[in-house]
Structure 1
Amino acid sequence: MTALQVASLYVGLNLVILLILGINVIRYRVSTKTSLGVGTDPALERACRAHANGAEWTPGALIALVLMAMLGAPVMAIHAIGVTLTVARGIHGYGVASKDGPNLGRFLGALMTLVLYAVLGVGLVLHAVTG
């Protein structure tokens, strides 16, 4: 696989995660007859936050992943970032959607995402200034 194909794989996988989280919101909206907002159902609120958090954090990492591929990063580096992102967003989404309060999925997913953002941000800046 080329670097861009590998990046495309992880973009696709993360879009599927966002799709699943979005379908979960729709499922709760239909069952609670809530067309806007979260109403009074804590499960709907968790579902909405799980989807919203993914929609807030995933795009930036995916843009960075595609930039890495376009700049000629090694395929294995793209795989490492892509796997980490996909696992992080998957376990975070599950952790937020399934349980109230702090839990291991939320903690690990958030931590992995923050570390990934730092690595991607610093790496792209360094590449830009050093060529």
Structure 2
Amino acid sequence: MLLPVTLVLAAACGLINLWLGLRLVRGRMQGVMLGDGGKPEMLAGMRAHANFAEYAPFVLILTGLIELARGPSLWLWVLTVVFVIARIAHPIGIMRPAPNPLRATGAVGTWIVTAILAGWALTIAYQANSATAPSGPAIEMAPPQG
């Protein structure tokens, strides 16, 4: 079964991950081969890249499982678009002086999407468990033989 929402999200995440890595190349070419070299812009770029790597897998997994269970839906598309926009806004904002609305919007958008997807997944699991639960007792008791 094709998972169009998950496939598009995975492609977008792949491109964002590549973009975040490429943003660090300039610093690497200037001699910072490992770590941040004491440069705040390298540290910010590394944190933006790591932060993406911390959240994207959970959103991808939740999206894929929800799509497998329920099929593609407009709401799943909307959530993935919000996630992609948030994950682009966050690293742009993290490179700017704090407080920064892009960074905050990216972080909060990511949290909201993750929370909604997690709640949706739990709801699907609960509904599936309720639908398959036996209606009567699991073990029938035989009357004592006497």
TM-score by length of 1: 0.90
SS in 2 for 1:71: helix
Q: Name the structure with the higher helix share.
A: 1
Query: Contact between 1:6 and 1:79, CA under 8 Å: does it hold in 2?
Result: yes
Counting aligned pairs with the same residue, the percent is 30
Unaligned runs of 5+ in 1: none
Match of 1:91 among 71, 89, 92: 89
Give how far 1:3 is off.
6.7
Give the C-alpha shift of residue 69 in structure 1. 1.2
Distance across 1 between alignment mates of 2:71 and 2:57: 19
**Offset at residue 22 of structure 1 (A):** 0.7
Structure 2 unaligned segments of length 5 or more: list them: 129-146
Give the TM-score normalised by the residue count of structure 2: 0.81
Counterpart residue identity of residue 35, structure 1: M
- Equivalent residue, structure 2, for 1:110: 107
The root-mean-square deviation of aligned C-alpha atoms, in Å, is 1.5
Tell me how far 1:14 sits from its aligned partner: 1.5
Q: Does 1:130 align with 2:127?
A: yes
Find the structure with the greater CA-based Rg: 2
Question: Residue by residue, what CA displacement relative to the aligned partner does 1:26-65 show, whole Å, maximum 9, x if unpaired?
Answer: 222212x011111111111111111111111111101111
Q: Deviations over 1:47-104 (max 9, x none)?
A: 11111111111111011111111112442122111101100101012111x2132201
